[in-house]
Amino acid sequence: MIEIIKFEREHLNDVYAIEEDSFSIPWSKHELEKDAFENKLSIYLLALFEGEVAGYVGMWHVVNEGHITNIAVKKEYRGNGIGDKLIKQLINIAIEKEMIGITLEVRMNNAPAQKLYANNGFKIEGLRKNYYKDTKEDAIIMWRYL
């Protein structure tokens, strides 16, 4: 069973472990903590799979738009619909907050993530050249208008 809850400080170590394991340039634990708990623009959700922290998502609510900053699912839980549930819940929150849309950047070669976003109504709207510092890979800009 997947449960989506608010990310609380008690989950920080578990979320940071997922962050480190998921990204080639992970946010530091301090950056993650500061963004999740001190940034007034941030909305963070957590996915529990059978009671265990299995994934998380963060979004900034800037004026009337949402910007997904990060989303990650623990490797052993990928393919169980956790990312999908996190995105759907963010979309619901964005609708409740009367945002006009949600945007994000995704690596050009990250087909699974692109498919997840496309399945949730996100469309390709642009490209950021050399966006990722580690590989100089381009980022695809995707939007879901609400």
Provide the annotated active-site residues.
Answer: 105, 117
* 32: nearest Cα among 22, 42, 24: 42
94 CA to centre of own chain:
14
* 105: nearest Cα among 80, 60, 69: 69
Looking up tokens 């939007």 gives 143
Alpha helix positions (H), the chain: 12-22, 29-38, 82-96, 111-119
62 CA to centre of own chain:
15
Q: For residue 11, give the DSSP letter.
A: G
Non-local (6+) Cβ contacts of 13 within 8 A are: none
